């Protein structure tokens, strides 16, 4: 965190919620909170595992995240 109230602290979250609103919430117009929770769970599964992102060289966030995790070594 660079400082309280700086725009760079929130830019990633703001972009995520813009995607959520325009790609899911506005298109589905959920009738209840239960429907919305189920729909958002489905959307985030899609967002992380199937939706390709320009910033990740057309890879999904799951592929980028799990390919950078250190491999666990077996005990000798």
For residue 71, the surrounding DSSP H or E stretch is none
What are the two backbone dihedrals, phi and then psi, of residue 53, each rounded to the nearest 5 degrees?
Answer: -115, 135
Global pTM value: 0.66
Q: What is the pLDDT of residue 50?
A: 83
Helix axes 33-49, 7-20, angle to 10 degrees: 110
Q: What is the pLDDT of residue 39?
A: 95
Q: pLDDT (tens digit, 9 = 90+) per residue, 6-55?
A: 777 788 888 889 999 999 999 999 999 999 999 999 999 988 888 877 77
């Amino acid at each position: 965190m660079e400082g309280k109230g700086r725009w760079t602290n929130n830019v990633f979250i703001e972009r995520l919620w813009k995607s959520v609103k325009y790609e899911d919430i506005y298109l589905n117009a959920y009738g209840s909170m239960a429907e919305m929770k189920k729909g958002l769970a489905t959307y985030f599964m899609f967002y992380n595992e199937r939706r390709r992102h320009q910033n990740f060289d057309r890879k999904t966030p799951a592929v980028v995240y799990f390919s950078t995790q250190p491999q666990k070594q077996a005990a000798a």
